[in-house]
Chains A and B, each alone.
Chain A
């Protein structure tokens, strides 16, 4: 969806800033908020670009750098950590051939960590874009990666 179209849904009131940024990022194929969009948001809400960047920079879900089509967020909370999420993170790094915050060569995945996802009864957990998965094992992760690779084709 175009940025203009998203902006037209929202009143020109600053309290919609986070909502607008979520919408722009979720509709961008590379899951980020480009500089041109920041300019337009600032214009729509009649605030400084620096204010928009200030908000983007504070919240860990937002990014001003292109990301993969799917963002994998591995839960790094004390519970998931205890239940083995750090091993899964290593497994993902090796499987995808990327470090934290990096995009895979095919542009499909970006690997990140997140704080508690509230899925602690099924730890370790992770999120792929908006979907949450729990009770993860390396085998499950492999089939999830396959699933998303196929889905993108």
Chain B
């Protein structure tokens, strides 16, 4: 069985999440100490060299994001935001980090703030994550008390203030520019990109916005160096990833592995195989805005490049497993219902399109003879149009599960009949 390697989750279950002393005893805030002794430039270069990519789903190189926010201006107001609006179905890695090791996240955010020289930051946590909110609030208060946050942190002369902002039940607010609108106290409507947050983010100021898991990797990278981080995982996808496995497996849960672990290992060894000994049906990788993998993909290595080559996406690291008895059309229907519900209505292609996709599949599924070979190509055609014409990533998402379900699974089922 492949061995778990925990970086983002290194303290999970080992320390009391409500005790800053236990965190400090586990080398906590050592990375911050080290970072504050070097130049901000050295920090983002270290992150850049580590090859870390955004763990929220888009996989953008984190160091490049930091550099953009760092170099845009030297003496202006800047902000750091931690995106903890984890709403991708099947994903709960950020919740686990916040609930079990809140200080690692705070340390990571503070290092990020120092690297771009921002003095104010926010953690935007979804409103449903009550325990995460409590744990982070408690940790922030403790960090202020010990001088890891606030004025003149550890005598370095660097000031940084961190606050929580609660979301209120909008999936779309996980999209970075929409999240910024929400932090400003507005409806969660996406902004047009560019400008990117690093140019014009919160209140028009340069803003660095990273996912929880991404930031939780910062302390270890700063402590051990980019070279160490690159020695884990694969060449193109360095480091580890937290996979949240759910559905028809014997041991659903969260597991952190070096990139490159295979889907087969995750499902059959780590998660204990399919429940009730049934055959594998499909796996939805990356959540609702993810892709369906078939049996032929079981040996693909989990990493940005290898998955992309196989027509799949890593996304948030969610792995939703379905046994062979599951009706995948019904799963697809509930995914389309989800997008229909979460479309904000700002742009027409997404507002009308997501409803139309859902209604069309629902209507067709009630027919006596459901003809996948006529229904799916038409849904895909429409979803492609929605993707091309929508304002934000939500409208670009339905095509992912639709096309992969059709091409990877349904086409073969029809051919085998």
Chain A interface residues toward B at CB < 8 A: 14-19, 21-22, 45, 54-55, 57-62, 73, 76-79, 81-83, 114-123, 127, 130-132
A114 contacts B246, CB within 8 Å? no
Report if A59-B247 is in contact (Cβ < 8 Å); known contacts: A82-B322, A118-B129. no
The docked-state distance in angstroms from the alpha carbon of A21 to that of B115 is 34
B165 contacts A18, CB within 8 Å? yes
Report if A78-B165 is in contact (Cβ < 8 Å); known contacts: A115-B89, A119-B92. no
* Interface residue stretch chosen among B26-34, B104-112, B152-160, B182-190: B182-190
B89 contacts A116, CB within 8 Å? yes
Report if A120-B246 is in contact (Cβ < 8 Å); known contacts: A60-B168, A115-B169. yes
Which of B86, B87, B326 counts the most chain A CB atoms within 10 A?
Answer: B87
A54-B187, A61-B127, A116-B90 are known; give 13 further A-B pairs, CB within 8 A: A19-B166, A57-B187, A58-B170, A58-B344, A59-B167, A77-B90, A79-B90, A79-B247, A115-B89, A115-B341, A117-B128, A118-B128, A132-B131
Q: Does B334 count as interface, using CB distance less than 8 angstroms?
A: yes
Chain B interface residues toward A at CB < 8 A: 86-92, 94-95, 127-131, 165-171, 182-188, 244-247, 252-254, 284, 288, 318, 320, 322, 326, 330-331, 334-335, 337-338, 341-342, 344
A121 contacts B168, CB within 8 Å? no
Instruction: Name the CB-closest residue of A to B86.
Output: A118
Report if A77-B89 is in contact (Cβ < 8 Å); known contacts: A22-B168, A115-B338, A121-B252. yes
The docked-state distance in angstroms from the alpha carbon of A69 to that of B347 is 36
Query: What chain B residues lie within 8 Å of A132 (beta carbons)?
Result: 128, 130-131
Report if A15-B185 is in contact (Cβ < 8 Å); known contacts: A61-B169, A82-B331, A120-B90. yes
The docked-state distance in angstroms from the alpha carbon of A82 to that of B90 is 12
In the complex, 22 of the A-B residue pairs with CB atoms within 8 angstroms, ordered by the A residue number, are A15-B184, A15-B185, A19-B166, A45-B185, A55-B185, A57-B187, A58-B187, A58-B188, A60-B170, A61-B127, A62-B169, A78-B284, A78-B334, A79-B90, A79-B246, A115-B169, A115-B341, A121-B245, A123-B247, A127-B128, A131-B130, A132-B131
The docked-state distance in angstroms from the alpha carbon of A114 to that of B87 is 11
Please give the distance in Å from B170's CB to the nearest CB on chain A. Answer: 6
Query: What chain A residues lie within 8 Å of B338 (beta carbons)?
Result: 77-78, 115
A114 contacts B169, CB within 8 Å? yes
The docked-state distance in angstroms from the alpha carbon of A127 to that of B126 is 14
B168 contacts A62, CB within 8 Å? yes
B182 contacts A18, CB within 8 Å? yes
A18 contacts B128, CB within 8 Å? no
Query: What chain A residues lie within 8 Å of B330 (beta carbons)?
Result: 82
Which of A17, A76, A121 counts the most chain B CB atoms within 10 A?
Answer: A121
A115 contacts B171, CB within 8 Å? yes
The docked-state distance in angstroms from the alpha carbon of A61 to that of B170 is 8
The docked-state distance in angstroms from the alpha carbon of A123 to that of B166 is 24
The docked-state distance in angstroms from the alpha carbon of A79 to that of B290 is 13
The docked-state distance in angstroms from the alpha carbon of A83 to that of B244 is 16
The docked-state distance in angstroms from the alpha carbon of A21 to that of B169 is 13
Please give the distance in Å from B184's CB to the nearest CB on chain A. Answer: 5
B127 contacts A83, CB within 8 Å? no
Query: What chain B residues lie within 8 Å of A117 (beta carbons)?
Result: 128
A14 contacts B86, CB within 8 Å? no
Which of B91, B186, B188, B330 counts the most chain A CB atoms within 10 A?
Answer: B186
Please give the distance in Å from A84's CB to the nearest CB on chain B. Answer: 12
B127 contacts A116, CB within 8 Å? no
B247 contacts A83, CB within 8 Å? yes
B92 contacts A120, CB within 8 Å? yes
B168 contacts A18, CB within 8 Å? yes
Report if A78-B168 is in contact (Cβ < 8 Å); known contacts: A16-B185, A115-B342. no
B320 contacts A78, CB within 8 Å? yes
Please give the distance in Å from A9's CB to the nearest CB on chain B. Answer: 13
The docked-state distance in angstroms from the alpha carbon of A101 to that of B110 is 42
Please give the distance in Å from A22's CB to the nearest CB on chain B. Answer: 5
Query: What chain B residues lie within 8 Å of A79 (beta carbons)?
Result: 89-90, 246-247, 320
Q: Which 6 residue pairs are nearest across A and B when measured between Cβ atoms?
A: A59-B168, A17-B185, A120-B246, A60-B169, A61-B169, A118-B92
B166 contacts A22, CB within 8 Å? yes
Query: What chain A residues lie within 8 Å of B245 (beta carbons)?
Result: 121
The docked-state distance in angstroms from the alpha carbon of A13 to that of B127 is 20
Query: What chain B residues lie within 8 Å of A115 (beta carbons)?
Result: 87, 89, 169, 171, 338, 341-342
The docked-state distance in angstroms from the alpha carbon of A18 to that of B173 is 13
The docked-state distance in angstroms from the alpha carbon of A124 to that of B322 is 15
The docked-state distance in angstroms from the alpha carbon of A117 to that of B330 is 20
The docked-state distance in angstroms from the alpha carbon of A22 to that of B188 is 16
A14 contacts B185, CB within 8 Å? yes
